[in-house]
Amino acid sequence: MKNKKIFAALLLLFFGMTVYANDITMADTAKSVANDTMVPKVSNWKTTSVPTLKFSQYYYDNWASDGYTQVAFTIGYIGTYTYTKPNYIWDSRVDLAFGFLKIDMNADKIFDDSKYLRKSDDKMDFTSTFSWKMKSNWNCNASVNFKSQFYDSYKFYADPEQEPTLISTLFAPAYMITSLGFEYKKEYWNASFSFITGKNTFVLDNRINPADYGVLEGRSHMGWGSYVRFYFKKDLWKNINLYTRLELFWEYQKELLTQTDVNWETTLEFKVNSWLSAFASLNLIYDADYSLARQLYQRSGIQINLDWINNLKKR
């Protein structure tokens, strides 16, 4: 319980920092327009805040190939916060999502009522990187990344009478990667390389078996290894944007080829207008501590962009 409170405090601190960054940016903008004779002040902060509502739906009726009618809703938030000075850059990114789905398991056109929540998404991902500028596009950086989820996840079975099994929940597991290394940074992409990286795995809920996530003693494990991160985000065409991020972590005490952690996610977004878009996303994870089989999550649907920060700035 004590560890959970510490993590919650850290998350609140990170959230407060991002809100503070937005306040500074908006304050600088207000100062520049308060007096027409005043020279506009260029803020060191560059921020984006994109809250979203995603929807996807499947309907089957007398379908020979079988299938379950279902509807899914997901709320999400992606924020980027960059503070730039001549000799250094501070980049932070927040990626949050939580969604649920309803399924008609009995094909009776009535969504099943269950005390166990079926989730369409559950994501808590914070990244912050401090980079010292070196030569050309090369930087020396220190980075921290934290991943977990908000709520309980269950393994459901084909037999509806069989009770689902709890497999994960808030901070169980949670992962924190801290690294020192080098970064090659361009306008639309960057790549980080670190040979001094610590990865902490936490399983802080007594209902979850720590060994399921490679924690063999206590409820946390610290491993040292190498870490590679690649990031790309760019408009491929006028209304089509591609985002992809690949993370690789190899713990030195493990096999390189068979026990390297892989986390690759990519999203293709088709913008209809300023508030509506269609999307297709894919997330592939390989974590030998959890399973020797790859984990795959694919989704597509429509998305409503609730971008209140930019709307406030335009007023």
pLDDT at position 268? 97
Residue with tokens 């990344």: 145
Kind plus residue range of the DSSP H or E element containing 230:
strand 220-237
For 127-150, how does the pLDDT look when each residue is reduced to its tens digit (9 = 90+)? Answer: 999 999 998 899 999 999 999 999
Cα–chain-centroid distance for residue 301?
Answer: 18
In angstroms, rounded to a whole number, what is the distance separating the alpha carbons of residues 133 and 234? 23
> Is 180 inside a domain boundary?
yes
For 233-281, how does the pLDDT look when each residue is reduced to its tens digit (9 = 90+)? Answer: 999 999 999 999 999 999 999 999 899 999 999 999 999 998 999 999 9
> Is 199 inside a domain boundary?
yes
> Is 15 inside a domain boundary?
no
The CATH number of whichever domain residue 156 belongs to comes to 2.40.230
> Is 95 inside a domain boundary?
yes
pLDDT at position 33? 47
> Is 194 inside a domain boundary?
yes
For the record, the structure tokens of 190 come out as 């960057």
Kind plus residue range of the DSSP H or E element containing 273:
none
**Does the structure show a pLDDT above 60 at 18?**
no
pLDDT tier at 157 (50, 70, 90 boundaries)?
confident
pLDDT at position 313? 57
**Does the structure show a pLDDT above 80 at 155?**
yes
> Is 5 inside a domain boundary?
no
Asked if residues 94 and 126 have their Cβ atoms less than 8 Å apart, the reply is yes
> Is 100 inside a domain boundary?
yes
Asked if residues 266 and 295 have their Cβ atoms less than 8 Å apart, the reply is no
> Is 39 inside a domain boundary?
no
What pTM was estimated for this model as a whole?
A: 0.85
Which residue range forms the structural domain that includes residue 94? Answer: 46-314
pLDDT tier at 29 (50, 70, 90 boundaries)?
very low
Average pLDDT, stretch 71-84?
Answer: 93
Q: State the number of CA atoms in the 13 A half-sphere of 268 facing the CB.
A: 8
In angstroms, rounded to a whole number, what is the distance separating the alpha carbons of residues 242 and 86? 29
pLDDT at position 255? 94
Number of domains in the chain: 1
Q: Mapping DSSP to helix (H, G, I), strand (E, B) and coil, where does residue 302 land? A: strand
In angstroms, rounded to a whole number, what is the distance separating the alpha carbons of residues 163 and 141? 47
